[in-house]
Amino acid sequence: MRVQLARQLLDRQIVDVDGRLVGRVDDIAFAVDDEGYPYVAGLLTGQGALGQRIGGRVGRLLVAVADRFTDDPPVPPLRVPLASVARVDSAVRLRCRAADLPSSPVEAWLRRHLIERIPGSHRASG
């Protein structure tokens, strides 16, 4: 059976167990087991992963913009372990909450330097 991972996974939305959007599948992380067989280790999301996948000038621009919005570049992509994936249909559905995943450095920077400075932003619910 031949599986076309790129067609099945890339650019699909990643949704947590509560239906909240986590991001899109921007790339696929592979690993090699002890016997030398490759397997899917996880899914990558974020500007860094997308920029590396696209490549060229546009890809480098995406990575550079992401690096500008963080205190500690380069920005690593958010890695979603394959064990966290419940199923794949029109979206990649996770068996965990978005809060249980590592936070995006870009989102943390934007929250700290932009969102929190908006009057009333601390009263916004979840």
The per-residue pLDDT for range 18-34, each reduced to its tens digit, is 999 988 999 999 999 99
Residue 55 has pLDDT above 50, yes or no: yes
Question: What percentage of the chain reaches a pLDDT higher than 70?
Answer: 93
Total-model pTM: 0.75
Higher-confidence position of 85 and 70: 85
What pLDDT is recorded for position 75? 72
HEC string of the chain?
A: CCCCHHHHHCCCEEECCCCCEEEECCEEEEEECCCCCEEEEEEEECHHHHHHHHCHHHHHHHHHHHHHCCCCCCCCCEEEEHHHEEEECCCEEECCCHHHCCCCHHHHHHHHHCHHHCCCHHHCCC
